[in-house]
A = this chain, B = another copy of it.
Amino acid sequence: MRELLRLTPGEVDLTAWDTRATPGFEGGKAEGRDALAALAPELADLQERLYAEGVAGSSRRVLLVLQGMDTSGKGGVVRHVAGLVDPQGLRVAGFGAPTAEELRHDFLWRIRRALPAPGRIGVFDRSHYEDVLAVKVRGLADPTEVERRYGAINDFEAELVAAGTPVLKCLLLISPDEQRERLLARMDDPTKQWKVAASDLEDRARWSAYREAYEVALRRTDTEVAPWYVVPADRKWYRNLAVATLLRETLAQMAPAWPPAVVDVADLRRRLLDEDPVA
């Protein structure tokens, strides 16, 4: 699946992706959900090892970056994929419009502050990429500043990777029709109407501008050390399975190992068995 979702360097054409496709998976929804459930124990085990390494002094961590148009399912991935591991080992961060304080700093300032602690899996629901996507499409920064940011992002991610933090970047790709269905469902659900914003339609009206901004961003920031993956996301079950699979492989490549005991366990064990009564 990994190879099939990997962006082909130099050939970034998002219209070429079928957003309803399920690359690398033969089954349907039921099989997809089963496959996700089957991944859970391995994901949880890998996460626990990574966490243990962090406690033992390793500085390795993982960063999962989720990007996509509104309703593409970033929150769903947090719930259904990140939700498979121990919350103690997670750091979820969402990035909305920057605050006044954040705007006074470089665009990466708030990003760095939200990085996961050692041993943790960080999940970014939107990310520094908004600063070359929404910011570009909405004209919120000077073009030369946007231009500078692609390089700054590559430097930042290379720095993370060099420090032992793989950066797994997933673009959740939905079609305009699928988005319309999801927006309508949101509008018709009293428990979801609070999420409806005028900006939903504004961004939707700029669909092609966003696609172009994504294509440029993917082209400029798809690096050897931090490649992009494109996840067809019209089918929610496939989207979850695909991101879980990518995360599992990322963790497996790190091969986190249970740290050795820091004390003489056999000796402590003897002392525990020989101790005076405790009460």
Contacts and interface: CB of A to CB of B under 8 A. Distances in A.
Contact of A86 (B79, B190, B265, B271): B79
Interface stretch (A31-39, A145-153, A176-184, A219-227): A176-184
Copies per complex of this chain: 2
A108 interface: no
Contact of A87 (B90, B187, B265): B90
A87 B88 contact: no
Interface string A53-97: 001100000000000000000010011001100111010101000
A201 B87 contact: no
Contacts of A279: 176, 207-208
Given A87-B92, A88-B92, A201-B275, A262 B79 contact: no
A197 B263 contact: yes
A269 to B, nearest CB: 5
Interface stretch (A136-144, A162-170, A239-247, A253-261): A253-261
Contacts of A269: 184, 187-188
Contacts of A188: 269
A205 interface: yes
Contact of A88 (B52, B94, B207): B94
Given A75-B88, A79-B86, A278 B194 contact: no
B78 A262 contact: no
Contacts of A16: none
Contact of A265 (B88, B125, B187): B187
